[in-house]
Amino acid sequence: MEQIQHKYVDVNGLKLHVAEIGTGPTVVVFLHGFPEIWYSWRYQMIAAAKAGFRAIAPDFRGYGLSEHPAEPEKATFKDFVDDVGGIMDFLNIPKAFLVSKDFGVKPAYHYALLHPERVMGVITLGLPFVLPGPELFPRELFPKGFYMLRWQEPGRAEADFGRLDVKTVVRNIYILFSGSELPAAEEDQEIMDLVDPSTPLPSWFTEEDLANYATLYEKSGFRTALQVPYRTWLEGYGTTNLKVNLPALHVQGEQDYVYKFPRMAEYIEGQVKEYVPDLEITFIPGGSHFVQEQFPEQVNEMIISFMKKHI
């Protein structure tokens, strides 16, 4: 990882951390999810640079080494979208591919809808383009103790996480989200109670990886992370035109618990192309929610092949 360089950029009144590698003329911007950070793209960044691309991975505001907004509890997805544009402006990037994972998919597509002239293509992992509002994720179809519903309650996750050190919280979430079932607690449980302390880390995720994540989240905490995405999930895209007329690729792990959201499989296999007509969909057998860390070579090849096809 020593080839990856780190810098801070002044964007929208905050100092945001950006990891960067490669000097190619075509840029790819990697947008992380939760509990991830720039580091979750380490394998893809190095592979993209070796393939001749300039790879950039920011920490979203309030995550990792990036500054928190003054009032984290008021942060919105639109703030993250504006930061993507601000980072591109600061680094003099007129146009880029956007590669996104988990909730990072929302700001990627949001930016593509508002500024299609600055996007060469969108690549998503784990979560496809999703409609704003409750249509795709009706609360009544999910278990009452589903983690997203629990974490939407102000103070609930803070109290749950606060019982443990940051490293254990990140460890537990990685173990939970690596599974193929929806993480949901019983009435008398909290989400952190779902993981037995003796449960090993996934085979592809090392203690060193965990330490790197923990160090970054010890710096940032979870204030902004619980606001965006969990408490702003229903936020709209700021436009009535929800058709993305850009090349797109969606990579879906077949064992990703998100694929088991009610209606999600049917949506990915059908309706999503109404909104993203030029969309390729690829499934990875055995792939978990963290497919880019679990099967990096496979995912690297998919991303680089797609980008080379659409330069």
**DSSP structural state of residue 256:** -
Residues annotated as catalytic are 102, 230, 289
Residue pair 193/185 in contact (Cβ under 8 Å)? The answer is yes
If you search the block for the tokens 């999703």, which residue do you land on? Answer: 130
CB atoms within 10 A of CB 31: 28
Q: Where are the alpha helices (DSSP H) in the chain?
A: 42-50, 77-90, 105-114, 147-151, 156-162, 166-177, 207-220, 223-227, 264-266, 272-275, 291-294, 296-309
Q: What is the DSSP letter of 184?
A: B
Counting every residue, how long is the chain? 311
Cα 61 from Cα 140, distance rounded (Å): 32
